[in-house]
């Protein structure tokens, strides 16, 4: 990464290098923030990675850092971004929806506040699929985000803005949320690292809810050490979130390889539906770990095929319940001149929600309705348990493995509009990610190489999955791949 500000180059290749340069006085926090703001000014008009930018407050915060206010803190002076579904007292928390277009939160999400307390400087909030429902960031009410590698293609979703911002060097790192792959899928399509922590590892307080039993906040970064540092800052128990796990997560050494490493390869993930380049990237990653001395073992995840239907029952049912509050009275957009209260509800929700959100609310309401609850929702919960048992068996029984290695997505980034008219085709982009959310595991997407399509390179991703609360091991295993391949050093051409 080379940041340019008024002709002065800041030679930092990672968040940690930038943090250290600021700490030692080689770079001022003000210059770092200005450098990123300059890049945002140059590129965001086309990419639309950021929905809001907080230039004045970011520079004011940077001056405080330079005055010594955050000296010694883990992220002192580091410019970061947050996804638009994370509450903050600055700006509007809109979830990229008309429903919340003017909502100003009176409080800040715990994960965001932890970044601020660690000295990070929030540059702004990133674009996303409305209410985190989507796989392409085409469902934002404010406009679509473009993929920095090829602006004809989607960046993935729903955290497409955060992924694109990190890929385009518009921030040093960013936060996203992952309900069924919304961190890992866009990370793969934009060629960056995306980490979904274990459910409960990071507080969800202040994260606008989509599906409460699946949602989890995690970081986007350019290197594994950067992702590990971000996680160590935002993780930990929060009394404001009853589902957050006890204990904090101190900084740990990701440079230490895992000894006697056993990597599981799920037979069910070998599919003719995979793009040939995805299969090749997976095979290359297997070879990388074999060369590092890992034992490769085949594992069985027999309920894999049920992941997508189970996810789209559980997630939509929870979404139906969570989004019931947006009725024009309690929260959100209020329609004008309604005939009566029922008309107010109908008009407000019809005007405020986009088509994909409406589709998922209707699916979830149907699954929870009288006469269908047992046939759909209750049965989906039972199969969800079987999916978790599959992972537990792979990790802890018989030929148990330390991590499972698989693709992040079935293909590279696709072109805008290609799947908008086929919701099922769009949903299948998450076929390799949803099961990790259903099981509550820790998982990460790593850059896995490139494929050339129409004369332009597009990144590919590979995914590692570990048992719950084993993020330290997960990141050490991921670092082994990163050091062997160097794919995280590649940057998009940004011909925008």
Overall pTM > 0.75: yes
Determine the structural domain holding residue 38 and report its residue range: 16-234
Active-site residue flag, 46: no
Helix (H) or strand (E) holding 82: strand 79-83
> Would you say residue 105 has pLDDT above 70?
yes
Is there a domain that residue 188 lies in? Answer: yes
Give the whole-angstrom CA distance, residue 53 versus residue 44.
10
Is there a domain that residue 26 lies in? Answer: yes
- Total domain count for the chain? 1
pLDDT of residue 250: 78
> Of the listed 83, 196, 347, 473, which one is catalytic?
83
> Of the listed 28, 177, 182, 443, which one is catalytic?
182
> Would you say residue 17 has pLDDT above 80?
yes
Is there a domain that residue 477 lies in? Answer: no
Is there a domain that residue 263 lies in? Answer: no
> Would you say residue 359 has pLDDT above 50?
yes
Burial 226-257 (b: 16+ CB within 10 A, else e): bbbbbbbbbbbebeebeebbeeebeebebeee
pLDDT of residue 15: 97
pLDDT confidence tier of residue 496, bands split at 50, 70 and 90: low
Q: Are 237 and 245 in contact (CB under 8 A)?
A: yes
Is there a domain that residue 105 lies in? Answer: yes
The domain that holds 172 is classified in CATH as 3.90.1300.10
- Write out pLDDT tens, residues 361-405: 999 999 999 889 999 999 999 999 999 999 999 999 876 899 999
Q: Are 230 and 367 in contact (CB under 8 A)?
A: no
pLDDT of residue 121: 98
Across the range 245-270, mean pLDDT stands at 92
Is there a domain that residue 216 lies in? Answer: yes
Is there a domain that residue 466 lies in? Answer: no
Active-site residue flag, 177: no
Residues 6+ apart with CB under 8 A from 121: 29, 33, 58, 61, 62, 65, 77, 78, 79, 80
Is there a domain that residue 243 lies in? Answer: no
Active-site residue flag, 182: yes
pLDDT confidence tier of residue 1, bands split at 50, 70 and 90: very low
Across the range 441-460, mean pLDDT stands at 96
- Write out pLDDT tens, residues 75-96: 999 999 999 999 999 999 999 9
> Of the listed 97, 135, 140, 158, which one is catalytic?
158
């Amino acid at each position: 990464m080379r940041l340019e500000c008024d002709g002065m180059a800041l030679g930092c290749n990672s968040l940690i290098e930038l943090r250290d340069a600021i700490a030692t006085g080689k770079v001022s926090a003000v210059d770092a923030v200005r450098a990123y703001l300059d890049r945002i000014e140059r590129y965001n008009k086309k990419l639309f990675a950021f929905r809001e930018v907080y230039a004045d407050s970011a520079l004011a915060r940077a001056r405080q850092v330079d005055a010594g206010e955050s000296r010694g803190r883990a992220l002192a002076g580091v410019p970061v971004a947050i996804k638009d579904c994370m509450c903050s007292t600055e700006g509007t928390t809109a979830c990229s929806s008309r429903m919340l277009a003017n909502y100003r939160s009176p409080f800040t999400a715990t994960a965001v506040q932890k970044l601020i307390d660690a000295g990070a400087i929030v540059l702004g909030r990133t674009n996303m699929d409305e209410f985190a429902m989507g796989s392409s960031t085409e469902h934002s009410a404010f406009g679509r985000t473009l993929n920095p590698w090829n602006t004809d293609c989607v960046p993935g979703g729903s955290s497409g803005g955060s992924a694109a911002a990190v890929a385009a060097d518009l921030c040093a790192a960013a936060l996203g949320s992952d309900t069924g792959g919304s961190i890992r899928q866009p990370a793969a399509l934009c060629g960056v690292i995306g980490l979904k922590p274990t459910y409960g590892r990071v507080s969800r307080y202040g994260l606008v809810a989509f599906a409460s039993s699946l949602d989890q906040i995690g970081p986007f970064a350019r290197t594994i050490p950067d992702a590990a540092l971000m996680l160590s800052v935002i993780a930990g128990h929060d009394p404001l979130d009853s589902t957050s796990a006890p204990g904090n997560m101190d900084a740990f050494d990701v440079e230490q390889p895992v000894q006697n490493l056993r990597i599981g390869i799920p037979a069910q993930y070998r599919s003719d539906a995979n793009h040939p380049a995805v299969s090749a990237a997976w095979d290359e990653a297997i070879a990388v770990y074999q060369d590092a001395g890992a034992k490769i073992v085949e594992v069985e995840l027999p309920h894999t095929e049920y992941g997508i239907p189970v996810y789209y029952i559980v997630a939509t049912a929870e979404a139906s319940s969570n989004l019931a509050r947006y009725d024009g009275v309690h929260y959100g957009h209020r329609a004008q001149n309604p005939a009566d209260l029922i008309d107010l509800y109908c008009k407000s929700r019809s005007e405020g929600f986009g088509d994909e959100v409406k589709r998922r609310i209707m699916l979830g309401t149907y699954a929870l309705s009288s006469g269908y609850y047992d046939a759909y929702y209750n049965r989906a919960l039972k199969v969800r348990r079987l999916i978790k048992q599959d992972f537990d068996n792979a990790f802890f029984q018989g030929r148990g493995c330390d991590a499972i290695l698989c693709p992040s997505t079935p293909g590279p980034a696709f072109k805008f509009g290609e799947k908008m008219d086929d919701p099922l085709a769009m949903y299948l982009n998450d076929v390799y990610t949803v099961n990790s959310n259903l099981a509550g595991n820790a998982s990460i997407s790593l850059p896995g190489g490139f494929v050339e399509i129409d004369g332009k390179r597009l990144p590919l991703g590979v995914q590692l999955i570990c048992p719950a609360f084993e993020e330290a091991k997960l990141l050490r295993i991921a670092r082994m791949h990163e050091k062997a391949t160097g794919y995280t050093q590649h940057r998009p051409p940004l011909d925008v």
